[in-house]
Structure 1
Amino acid sequence: MVNHPNRSRARSPASEQPDKKETRGGKRIGAGPPIQNESGEKIMRSYRLAPDVIKILNDNRPAAQLIERLAREYAERLEQVAKNS
């Protein structure tokens, strides 16, 4: 049986090239969402909350922004009370 003329036993030039660098996975500089504020990255926290508070947070999306705003307002009120005392 004769070999087909288009098929040779010689390796193609493409197969003799060096292996390509793996580019999948891993950390990429600059990837991900931008830092939200000048004080640095946001920090993940978990808390157990009462069901009525969860309902308020679910009704007012995005909940994280609501919590941040209310915590800042509360801190301002505490400072005002401390100044008036």
Structure 2
Amino acid sequence: HRVFGGIVSFREKTELTKLLDTLTEVSQYSEDLRAQTHEFSNKLYAILGLLELKQVDEAIDLIKEEYTLQNRQHDLLMKQIRSPKIQAILL
């Protein structure tokens, strides 16, 4: 129950700030991916529901709408980002 010594670690504040910023970015990225996955699952369930209700044309329309939206976002992204390496990562 006695203290025999102590250890002190000194670090630059900027190093700690960079680490916290990185953790915040990773956390935000993780949350964004979770939300995107949830949204995509909802669309799949909507398509499944339409198919189960024999609403095939509506299901096809929903798929086409999503496909068009994804293509527009892809084209916009590729026009704005010039680096092939970053484009490859995003794809």
Give the TM-score taking structure 1 as reference length: 0.29
Give the TM-score taking structure 2 as reference length: 0.27
> Which has more radius of gyration?
1
